[in-house]
Structure 1
Amino acid sequence: MTPTQLKTDYLIVGSGAVGMAFADVLVSESDADIIIVDQFAKPGGHWNNAYPFVTLHQPSAFYGVSSRELSNGKFDQVGLNKGLGSLATGAEVAAYFDAVMHETFLPSGRVRYFPMCRSDGAGMFENTLTGEVFEVEAGKTVDATYLKTTVPSTHTPQFEVENGVWFMPLNDLPKIDRKPEGYVIVGGGKTGMDAVLWLLGNSVDPDTIRWIMPRDGWMLDRKNTQSDISFFNSTLGAQALQFEAIAAAESVDDLFDRLEDSGVLLRLDRDVKPKMFHGATVSQAELAEMRRVKNVLRLGRVQKIGVDEILLDQGSVPTGPNIVHVDCSASAISNLKTKPIFEGDLITPQTVRSYQPVFSAALIAHIEVVKDTEVEKNALSTVVPLPNHDTDWIRMMIPFMMNQYNWSRDSDIRDWLTHNRLDGFSGMVRGVSPDDAEKQAILGRMKAASMPAMAKLTQLVGQI
């Protein structure tokens, strides 16, 4: 079949959150022609396969595309997130991205969207339904799939599961139609937390839950991530406490003790030192709920789940055919390698601010639009590595702080951050009245501790 020839300024591979956030800035800040290619039938990327009770872990105000609100400033009135910025459900997020595509992108006349297509990453893609092949002559290609987000429903476990084991991804928890004798949650990350909270929220006795946790993880307090000015003392206060903890730390262990004592980091069990940090965000109410589960198995990773026994790295535990085993072992991001964001005709969005790939994609697109040289663009887009181990928190903070400093010195980017809804924090800071002594004191503490904190981070990296 002869390929259909297409031409565009930007070929964006992937219509997940990163690709959509990047395209949105191109639509609103340039006159570029754009082609978006994606393997799914609808935009939203991994949200197409999300489990039915999934919600965002961070406030909706920080998610989506720059030009369209997701939360409309709502706060949750009930539940474990009560009083905090609303957390959109998976269904809400999927509907949101579909609306962005059909109500903003396509009506612009500058976006062509090709769903159900697989790309080779080099300008060729094929419609999986019709077999039609397309060849694109693109000014630049944006690889919005680089981070390789994975979800439980499409994840292949890295351990053996015997025939006869009652085993499922957490997507299938709501489909259970008979009472199990117990529950085994495999995985200590965000999906494991969601599975535990869903079970407890549906009145499951916590003593019937066993939680296999290969590594405990440090968590963030969601109260410290709010963008509404009413949370200034929590959000910016936590930033000040964070810088002060870093500056005063005498060792890596001392740093994490100080971060925990100041409320910047949380952990499930004060007697177990976490070895993992993925940026999981929880409310204090959620943390209290999770602590109701006392049977936490810290025997390493699962090697095999048999009908009568679970084999782990450091031992084994009994199980049975009437016990549900819930797979929460998928890693949300499967590609932790970093590379330059701007490389000739290829743009590879990655995180330039901790925990925020969507904000990062939007800012990278803005930098692409307003800056001229590749050197200048990359200087403003140092990749902040995605964390895995606990000490990656330290490695992550150095480029994060460097980027914040460089952005503050660029008047265009500084103004963009102040007015972009995905940032939130910059507008909060710029909006503080000079007469507000309490808020100005917090900002003063941040400024005073920032340079000593950066110096200390470089020392602590040497101790890892």
Structure 2
Amino acid sequence: MESHETDYLIVGAGAVGLAFADTLLDEAPDCHITLVDKHAAPGGHWNDAYSFVTLHQPSATYGVNSMELCPDRVDTHGHNAGMYPLARHSEILAYYSRLMHDRLIPSGRVAYHPLTEYVGGEGQAHKARHILSGEEMRFTVRRKLVDATWFQTSVPSTHKPAFDIAEGTRFAVPGDLPGLWKHAGDLPSHYVVIGGGKTAMDTAVWLLEAGVSPDAIDWVRPRDSWMFNRKLLQPAKHAIRDLVRFQIDLAECAASSETGDEMFAKLGERGTMLRIDPDVTPSMFHYAVISEGEVDLLRTITRVHRGKRVTALEPDALVFGDERVELPANTLFVDCTARAVDMSAGERVTPIFAGDRITLQTIQTPMIPYSAALAAFLETNFETDAERNALCPPAPLTDTTATYPYVVMANLMSTAILSGNAKTNAWNAKSRLHPTGPAIAAMMARNDPQLMELGKVGPKIRSLMPGVIKLGMAAKALHEAS
């Protein structure tokens, strides 16, 4: 059995584990770090994602603190035209490969074990297993185990459908679609996209942009969703006013509403939130970010099965319980029902810092890499778990319009806590993963005249907090009762 020693054993080398390791490397220059991961390459679930996936938000605040992800330029074509880049699947994997092989491992303080499954352990003694050989490894962990798998990310290629599939049915996941050119003599005559989340939206947009007629697409959407408007979430150094407007919109609409649905309706009127069908009130919110151009494309699909869940697929039919919907022969069903983040993870909330274990969770939802990097900073710059946990109560993961106000409240309270601490406030000012910190620091350095206007934002939001808290606490009760 192999034996290794390390200071921090990080389970998971995806977006979460790598953001933590990257910051830890800089903040704790005397420590050794070991990462174990089931995948054959760094990047976690991105290794399993469909090839045409991109980030939903601009790349400026994704990845790790030490490396930029995409060039600082504006896209000139496509549905993201006029906005800053969304890293593509291949770019994200290349980014994490560079991080691992050009920065982490060459530091001499990081060991990486791919195709390795963590088995368990406690105290300083932990075990892992090589997946291909079955050989076990023993780790002596001098400081802490870091669990970077709490989110239990799921993608279509690793997801098991919750419905029956009859023999002879043409069935695919999104990652199969780019390979359809290999079947030029037997292409589908019709497509059914199953799912209401961002994966389904990405898939529908891909089909439309590939030339498939909207009339040749059926779309099963059990629930409609609200989405963030991407044009308001551009990099702060280029669009600080839009980001400030976004934050004020959230606070104002929360403070003036009695329910989450009322809050979303007001945000929709302002263009802060988008929905596909203006005549349908969405009940789902999974933090997806979308452009107005994508929404316009998706609205061309009119064969929508709303409020229904698939129980079975047949070669030429959709089955919803007792209802059977006939479809053209040679229909291809595309399963987009995997949920990127398991929302039930919220039921497993635990203090992030607990003795010899760190469980990485969201500190501000949905800023996952930022939350992981912040946890590494807290680990190395504060003495006790009590101090650390006071600065980073786990933020809730909600998935409905009724419960999202709880997140708005929690995020604003977290911002107040972190900005009120000199150490975390200074770190936010230099963290590329923070949405506004570096941009505001640069404005302060050059005494930008916009600072006078920005100085009014804090007092404005503080004045709205009683209303935000009232709605947020009501949403919290709904979340905890669900």
CA distance in 2, matches of 1:134, 1:331: 32
Choose from 391, 398, 403 the match for 1:392: 403
For the Cα contact (< 8 Å) 1:11–1:141, is it kept in 2? yes
The corresponding residue for 2:48 is 49
State the Cα distance separating 1:449 from its structure 2 match.
Answer: 2.7
Q: Which moved more, 1:77-86 or 1:421-430?
A: 421-430
1:23 partner letter: A
The corresponding residue for 1:63 is 62
For the Cα contact (< 8 Å) 1:165–1:321, is it kept in 2? no
For the Cα contact (< 8 Å) 1:434–1:440, is it kept in 2? no
Choose from 391, 403, 407 the match for 1:380: 391
- Amino-acid identity (%): 37
State the Cα distance separating 1:438 from its structure 2 match.
Answer: 4.8
SS of the residue 2:295 aligns to: helix
State the Cα distance separating 1:7 from its structure 2 match.
Answer: 1.3
CA distance in 2, matches of 1:47, 1:373: 34
State the Cα distance separating 1:308 from its structure 2 match.
Answer: 3.0
CA distance in 2, matches of 1:395, 1:446: 16
For the Cα contact (< 8 Å) 1:240–1:449, is it kept in 2? no
The corresponding residue for 1:38 is 37
State the Cα distance separating 1:196 from its structure 2 match.
Answer: 0.4
The corresponding residue for 1:149 is 153
CA distance in 2, matches of 1:179, 1:443: 56
State the Cα distance separating 1:456 from its structure 2 match.
Answer: 4.0
Matches for 1:254-403 after TM superposition, within 5 Å: 254-313=262-321, 315-334=323-342, 335-336=344-345, 337=347, 338-403=349-414
For structure 1, list consecutive stretches of 5 or more residues without a partner in the other structure.
Answer: none
TM-score (norm 1): 0.95
For the Cα contact (< 8 Å) 2:403–2:476, is it kept in 1? no
Choose from 401, 404, 416 the match for 1:405: 416
Matches for 1:24-173 after TM superposition, within 5 Å: 24-30=22-28, 31-122=30-121, 123-138=126-141, 139-173=143-177
CA distance in 1, matches of 2:371, 2:324: 43
SS of the residue 1:220 aligns to: strand
Paired residue total: 462
CA distance in 1, matches of 2:426, 2:60: 19
CA distance in 1, matches of 2:448, 2:238: 17
CA distance in 2, matches of 1:450, 1:203: 48
The corresponding residue for 1:10 is 8
For the Cα contact (< 8 Å) 2:261–2:401, is it kept in 1? no
State the Cα distance separating 1:253 from its structure 2 match.
Answer: 3.3
SS of the residue 1:389 aligns to: coil
The corresponding residue for 2:472 is 457
State the Cα distance separating 1:248 from its structure 2 match.
Answer: 1.4
CA distance in 2, matches of 1:112, 1:434: 44
1:400 partner letter: N
Q: Which moved more, 1:273-282 or 1:227-236?
A: 227-236
For structure 2, list consecutive stretches of 5 or more residues without a partner in the other structure.
Answer: none
For the Cα contact (< 8 Å) 2:193–2:220, is it kept in 1? yes
CA distance in 2, matches of 1:56, 1:303: 31
Q: Which moved more, 1:97-106 or 1:395-404?
A: 395-404
Q: Which moved more, 1:164-173 or 1:425-434?
A: 425-434
For the Cα contact (< 8 Å) 1:221–1:281, is it kept in 2? yes
SS of the residue 1:121 aligns to: strand
SS of the residue 2:286 aligns to: strand
State the Cα distance separating 1:345 from its structure 2 match.
Answer: 1.0
Instruction: Check if 1:435 corresponds to 2:449.
Output: yes
1:33/1:461 Cα in 2 relative to 1: closer, same or farther (>3 Å)?
A: closer
1:162-190 Cα deviation digits (max 9, x unpaired)? 01111000110111123322110000101
State the Cα distance separating 1:80 from its structure 2 match.
Answer: 0.5
1:169/1:204 Cα in 2 relative to 1: closer, same or farther (>3 Å)?
A: same
State the Cα distance separating 1:321 from its structure 2 match.
Answer: 4.3
State the Cα distance separating 1:75 from its structure 2 match.
Answer: 2.2
State the Cα distance separating 1:440 from its structure 2 match.
Answer: 4.6
CA distance in 1, matches of 2:269, 2:73: 30
State the Cα distance separating 1:9 from its structure 2 match.
Answer: 0.7
CA distance in 2, matches of 1:218, 1:239: 17
Q: Which moved more, 1:358-367 or 1:240-249?
A: 240-249
State the Cα distance separating 1:314 from its structure 2 match.
Answer: 7.3
SS of the residue 2:365 aligns to: coil
CA distance in 2, matches of 1:17, 1:228: 22
1:207-230 Cα deviation digits (max 9, x unpaired)? 111110001011100112112333
TM-score (norm 2): 0.92
